[in-house]
Structure 1
Amino acid sequence: MTSHFSRLIVVVSCFVLSYSVAVAQKKIRIACVGNSITYGSGIENREQNSYPSQLQNLLGSSYDVLNFGVSGRTVLRQPGNSYMATPAYKEALESSPDLVFIKLGTNDSRLPYRLQIDSFATDYKTLIRSFKVLPTNPRIVLLLPVASFLTDTTRQTDQAIIKLIMPRIRQIAFEEKCELIDLHSLFVDHPELFPDKLHPNSSGATIIAKRLYETINAQEENGFDFFPKIKAAYTVSSFYGYDCADFSFEGRACKVVKPRRPAKDLPWIWRARFWGHEPQTDIALLDRGFHVVYCDVAELFGNAQAVTIWNHFYAFAQQAGLAKKVALEGLSRGGVYAYNWAAENPEKVACVYVDAPVLDLKSWPGGKGQGKGSPSDWEIFKKDFGLTTDEQAMAFKGNPMDKVADIVKGHYPLLHVVGDADDLVLLSENTAPFEQKVRESGGDIQVIHKPGIGHHPHSLPNPTPIVEFILKATTKRQ
């Protein structure tokens, strides 16, 4: 009896050990679906240097990254060069993937394929759904095409990609609830990475691989959904492929855009003004799991009423579960809103990013320095703060410029992006003296200058420096 029992223990132990080893050795399979850029065309030693191969090296032996790229292929099933007609497509389906990256659309932007662009969404959805029904229930991530530097308008020009392809992929992501990664903005200022003006070299492939690696390794807050926390009636629309809820809060128009996979600790960025203008930073943060919010307090110029409404909205965001510290974003006059709230709520701020910011209302809209100002907005400003004369307005001390001591006490980092040729919100009357005061007070400020650029365009075509600043600040302070 004892002998049989001992043999049984040995058998069970071996089974458990074998099962444990098998589980431990199960690799996560990643299918990289795409065209020649995925395949690695034009890259020396593409077997080692294509972005799927570089991603494999980054991830290590716990992953199998499979390259199913086929040169010249389209999403479109007609006229006859479809990715879905290739053996690689069938192999991708049969690979039992746990994760699928789809990077297609570049070739659909060229002639003659763009003549059939109305079929693009239907065909792309067919492709997506063919992976969705697999027994592995794979995670599906859509990659926006990289930039193109071709000038031949019959080919895959950047304008065609921007106008014909990217909006359609974003809408498809919204309707199919797929994740997105904006690769396009990562390359718009790097033509040197495209030897033939269309295909990135191995260094460009490295950028793609690192961005995908970042997505795979991102920590998430599972099961969180902001929208059920909204007590008012709301409507949902697409914000560049993400779900955006529009609702009213204390009589003010508000928006919350939620990511597909919320990042751990639920970081968020709060835009102060001009919703949707130059949205590349907001989009990049959504790709990384941030929520993006907006509470319209125009046109109150950051007065006590605006700060109070924002205090209440912040409390609402806290009740919903977002991180205690928020990244503030202010474009132009939005700088006044962001800084005036931050000065009164230092413990709630992770960082402040402002772009061509108004920091002294005497400069704009007052026009009391070298700029032309805005007489109509100057009158609104005076009314907002209960000022009846220009003399009272000139003695006003409620500007961010006047609150540097309070801002610096918050110990949150500041980033300004400014055009050196701005003749509306003059650098010399706003960011330059503000920066000097912050530095003299021991504050942490970084200024990115855009030589020869005026008040517009805001932001950066490639928002990476802004995004990295915000990621560093929120990671450190969550």
Structure 2
Amino acid sequence: MKHLFRYFIISCLCFATNTGFAQSKIRIACIGNSITFGSGLKDRAKESYPAQLQALLGPAYEVLNFGVSGATMLKKGNKPYWKTPEYEQALVAAANVYFVKLGTNDSKLINRPMMGDYVNDYRDMVRTLAKLQSRPRIILLTPIKAFSDEKFGISGTYLKDSIIPSIQKLAYEENLEVIDLHSLFADKEALLADKIHPNAEGDGFIAKRLYELIAQQTKKTGATGSIPKLNLPAEKSSFYGYNCFQFKFKERNAKIAVPKREAAGKPWIWRARFWGHEPQTDIALLERGYHVVYCDVAELFGNSEAINLWNGFYNHLQKLGFAKKAVLEGMSRGGVYVYNWAAANPKKVTCIYADNPVLDLKSWPGGKGIGPGSKKEWATFLKDYSYQTDEQAAAFAGSPIDKIKEIVKGGYPMLHVCGDQDEVVPISENTSLFAEKIKQAGGNISIIHKPEGKHHPHSLPNPQPIVDFILRAAQK
């Protein structure tokens, strides 16, 4: 009985389920199509992602593969999963966790006339699963990236533009977890010999991601998360399937995106500028239990007013129980904001992820070096710092590149993702020079170079290297 009770407690804590009966193993059911089934693998019994997940989890778990090649979520699709024996078996299994990965075959031209039913058909399935006696945790998996618009009739473009937003819509409406496998495979074309189905190594990446999800200790946040404690009027909307609350903080727009399950310690990432642009890192962290926050201080270019506003916002987040230290994310001019705030608050920073960042305001928007600058933004900068002329601004020393000593005091690691051909914010005047000074001062900085990259696009198609950096920093 002690053995059974222990696993029942684990089930409640890890999966937030009320099983209603004791079972010796935590049961995980994988509903899906040919990728779940393991089509094309030499030994699907060992190499499919459900099989590899079983190997990672060990004997305390039972992972069941209910994949059906060619299956659609659409009830009126050319091969509805609903009409398969595997679906009936999945229901009878009454698992503690259901991973649902259907949508790839729905992208076929033959199925598109029925796409208006996709979300409602998906909703019917997850609600059916939710009513099972096991009261399972239900996790939606987006299709992996398809590197073709023709192979097997599957369209990678349609998956990205229509299927995945539909899954995110359902995740928002039903308050369900959703895992972005599409971005995970953005740089893994070599692992898909036929452009659609991953090989055993590719399935291993899926299994590892699902294992990390199951192994992580989190708690369910509910439909509203922590936002009501702010006692501020807030508008709720979807941020790629997650609840996002927008409100006013000292007359400035503020946003908080809430994870479906919150990680221990309530970690968070603070995006400085360009909310929602290249969001793959933010989405990946939401999956892992991070909140994503934003407080608009545009366009103050990191001056004292901006720092004071952010200090106040930080204090509000502390009242909500957020972690004492923040992950800071600065894209382009956002680099000025995160580094200037970090220089003023070195002990409140977990790490900094900066992307083609502005680190010297004389470089941009000033255009005093090799870059073009911006006359409009330079005029704003002069006003923000109370300069009347360019000659007066020549003595300016308030950019991150001027605050090396203050920045390294925090002892936190820094990661920059940079296009070596950045035509707007030249790397030589910004990250390269900044990194050299940081290292000379004993700081910890690393750079991911994009040799042919320009200022846009920001981030990485697969944000895993950025996410790994942040998670490592959080563990220290």
Does the alignment reach a TM-score above 0.5? yes
Do the aligned partners of 2:33 and 2:67 also contact (CA within 8 Å) in 1? yes
Structure 2 residue identity aligned to 1:197: K
- Indicate yes or no: 2:341 matched with 1:337: no
Aligned to 1:114: 112
Question: Is this contact kept in 1: 2:275–2:294, CA < 8 A?
Answer: yes
- Are the equivalent residues in 1 in contact too, given 2:221–2:259 (CA < 8 A)? no
Question: Which residue is equivalent to 1:49?
Answer: 47
More off after superposition, 389-398 vs 314-323: 389-398
Structure 1 residues 154 and 101 mapped into 2: Cα distance closer, same or farther (>3 Å)?
A: closer
CA distance in 1: counterparts of 2:256 and 2:366, whole angstroms: 33
What is the deviation of 1:79? 3.6
Question: How many angstroms apart in 2 are the aligned matches of 1:391 and 1:17?
Answer: 78
Are residues 1:155 and 2:153 paired? yes
- Alpha-carbon shift at residue 223 of structure 1 (Å): 5.8
Partner of 1:355: 355
Report the secondary structure of 1:364's partner residue. Answer: coil
Query: Which residue is 2:283 aligned to?
Result: 283
* Between 141-150 and 223-232, the greater mean CA deviation after superposition: 223-232
TM-score, normalization: structure 1?
0.94
* Aligned twin of 2:380: 380
C-alpha separation between the residues in 1 aligned to 2:396 and 2:178? 46
1:403 aligned residue: 403
Query: Which residue number in structure 2 is paired with residue 131 of structure 1?
Result: 129
Matches within 5 A, 1:10-29: 26-29=24-27
Partner residue of 1:166? 164
Counterpart position of 1:197:
195
- Change over 3 Å in CA distance of 1:323–1:115 after alignment to 2: same
Q: 1:104 to 1:367 in 2, by over 3 A?
A: same
8 Å Cα contact 2:302-2:341 kept in structure 1: yes
- For 2:27 and 2:326, the matched residues in 1 are separated by 36
For the 8 Å contact 1:34–1:104, the answer to whether it is kept is yes
CA distance in 2, matches of 1:454, 1:267: 31
CA pair 346-200 structure 1, distance change in 2 beyond 3 A:
same
CA distance in 1, matches of 2:188, 2:119: 29
Please give the alpha-carbon distance, in whole angstroms, between the structure 1 residues aligned to 2:427 and 2:469.
Answer: 21
Cα distance in structure 2, aligned partners of 1:291 and 1:358: 25
Alignment partner of 1:34 is 2:45: no
Return the offset for 1:444. Answer: 0.2
Give unpaired runs (5+ residues) of structure 1. Answer: 1-15
Aligned-pair Cα RMSD in Å: 1.5
Amino acid at match of 2:215: N
**Greater C-alpha Rg:** 1
Q: Paired residues, what number?
A: 461
| Matched residue SS, 2:403 | helix
Deviations 1:210-239 (A, max 9, x none): 000000011124568311212210010000
The Cα of 1:475 is off from its aligned counterpart by 2.2
CA contact (8 A) 2:269 2:326 kept: yes
C-alpha separation in 2, matches of 1:22 and 1:362: 60
Contact 1:318–1:324 (CA<8 Å) still a contact in 2?
yes
Letter in 1 for 2:90: A
SS state of the match for residue 97, structure 1? coil
Displacement of 1:115 in angstroms is 2.2
Relative to structure 1, is the Cα distance of residues 25 and 132 closer, same or farther in structure 2, using a 3 angstrom cutoff?
Answer: closer
3-state secondary structure, aligned to 2:65: strand
Map 1:263-342 to 2 at 5 A: 263-342=263-342
Taking the aligned partners of 2:309 and 2:402, their CA distance within structure 1 comes to 22
Deviations 1:95-118 (A, max 9, x none): 011000001100001110122111
Contact 1:43 1:50 in 2 (8 A): yes
Percentage identity across paired residues of the two chains:
54
1:357-413 deviations in whole A, cap 9, x for unaligned?
Answer: 000010000001111110110010011011111112121000000001110111000
Structure 1 residue 19, shift from structure 2 partner: 6.9
CA offsets 1:175-229 (integer angstroms, 9 cap, x no match): 0110011001011111110011110000000000000000001112456831121
CA offsets 1:419-458 (integer angstroms, 9 cap, x no match): 0111110011100100100011110000011011110000
8 Å contact from structure 1 (residues 36, 72) kept in 2: yes
Q: Is the 8 A contact 1:221 1:266 kept in 2?
A: no
Cα distance in 2 for partners of 1:442, 1:44 equals 50
Equivalent residues of 1:25, 1:62 under 8 A apart: no
Aligned to 1:218: 216
Tell me, yes or no, if the aligned pair for 2:144 and 2:183 is still in contact at 8 Å: yes
1:154 is displaced (CA, Å) by: 7.8
In structure 1, the partner of 2:423 is 423
Structure 2 CA distance for aligned equivalents of residues 236 and 22 of structure 1: 37
- For the residues of structure 1 that align with 2:220 and 2:152, how far apart are their CA atoms? 45
TM-score by length of 2: 0.95
Q: Secondary structure at the match of 1:38?
A: helix
Query: For residue 227 of structure 1, what is the aligned residue in structure 2?
Result: 227
- Retained in 1: the 8 A contact 2:28–2:61? yes
Inter-partner Cα distance in structure 2 for 1:472 and 1:154: 40
> Which amino acid is 2:444 matched to?
D
Q: Distance in 2 between matches of 1:453 and 1:20?
A: 55
Instruction: Determine if contact 1:221/1:265 at 8 Å carries over to the other structure.
Output: no
Conserved 8 A contact 2:32-2:100: yes
Segments of 4+ in structure 1 off by > 3 A?
A: 16-25, 221-224
Structure 2: 5+ residue stretches without partners? 9-21
Q: CA-to-partner distance for each residue in 1:34-93, whole Å, 9 max, x for gaps?
A: 000000000110001100000001001111100000000000011441101101000000
Whichever residue aligns with residue 198 of structure 1, its letter is: I
